[in-house]
Structure 1
């Protein structure tokens, strides 16, 4: 049946079965988007699939749904108010035909991880759907299985296709999953940890690799280090000379004429202060000179043009 307007049925929506079965070894189940009652007049009775039908069909499989992740890029198909109050609902706007970006992938992983942590004492399912419950759904579910569960790309794709009842159709999704299959636990090492802890761990790991491959680079002293007791007078003279060169460079930079303000910028280009070393209690610290006050911009004068007198 053909319909239009807000109750227009998505293209090829009736070509796919309403839902598949639970993916073995996981809590995922994929299905196409359920449509609210206003779509019923454009569908035959056997083609209708509403949120109420979704809950009913999952119960027929002797399963219980705990979370729905909606990946459609619209809100016209149904709303969370049509779902039971005990059912969690998460809306992640995802563009069709395109590979989901990093933010969408990370958001999907966060929602799944939080639900699994909060529902360790039960076996409720995570229902994922886009328009047809196939391409965007298959990509993100397989991406989670590859990145977080450590599953091989071909294994995850085959498992999803068999459970959904339809194969993933878009080759760009399949190629991207296979290309990224070696990236395990990407962006989800520990969602509960602070990003600063992950950065510190990565820095420590990088320093360990440098010590293994480039041990000579670790001999460079940091910004603030105690002076060696065996330092000679020559080393001290070189340090004083370096400080003097820094000061001269700063003074030369201060007397330089500031550049004119480019069109469209509110403030002038301020002078950049250069660091100079400062010795305190036998420790060497970088000392930054505060930038001078910003000069007020001059008003641009308009050129006076004489009126053209026509004969």
Structure 2
């Protein structure tokens, strides 16, 4: 319906775009000025699209329409991957032309973008519906994904925003660290329950296919934000002004790397690591068997000589 469409005037703000054209303000003093600002304006517009799609996806997830929510999240992932390519256009700038501009725009930064700086926080909120649904559906989930009988998928519209207590548990990661007893786990008993529930979703994908597909979509989108957009932004800055330089907001270029290495969904990261450790322990007798069978067959015949 029309309400699902993006508002062109709000998205593009053509009057503001027109005001950035050098002809409207007089000739620019810097050769790379117009190119630099145009790429950043495009970044802001695409970030607006991504945030709009995330809002739609969250609404679908809260209504229990997990397939639609996952599809929207994957669309956002494609936008973020494109954004990574989009910003790397700036690598074509002539350094001797850009450096005088960099000095003049000191105090400004792409990090000041209203839309771009919301991306991580908006994406992190997409985990809330999954945690709430999983915790409600998997009350008997164990560490290996075995579960007690649980109700079917909740009906449409049965979810509400997560409670403050649950959100704190999610933000703290939920679930035990290796050296912690369950009672000492971040988020307390509720965080532990969320952790075990997500373990069940990952450990029994056939039992919870829609939730599992949604979780996988979140992984893809996280990878697109961290590896697609943030990493390429860091690589761009390193390639243009050097890894030892400081940006226009006096922030070290090396500091951009931290954004690439900080997960959006630490809880999902811990769940995957937990399942991996569990599989290693249960299947330790099979460790290395494939290579042992290959070695038992003897050396492979030498390849034919290169003509």
Give your verdict on TM over 0.5: no
TM-score normalised by the chain length of structure 2: 0.23
Which has the larger Rg?
A: 1
Which structure's residues are more often helix, by fraction? 2
Greater RCO, 1 or 2 (C-alpha within 8 Å, sep 6+) = 2
TM-score normalised by the chain length of structure 1: 0.23
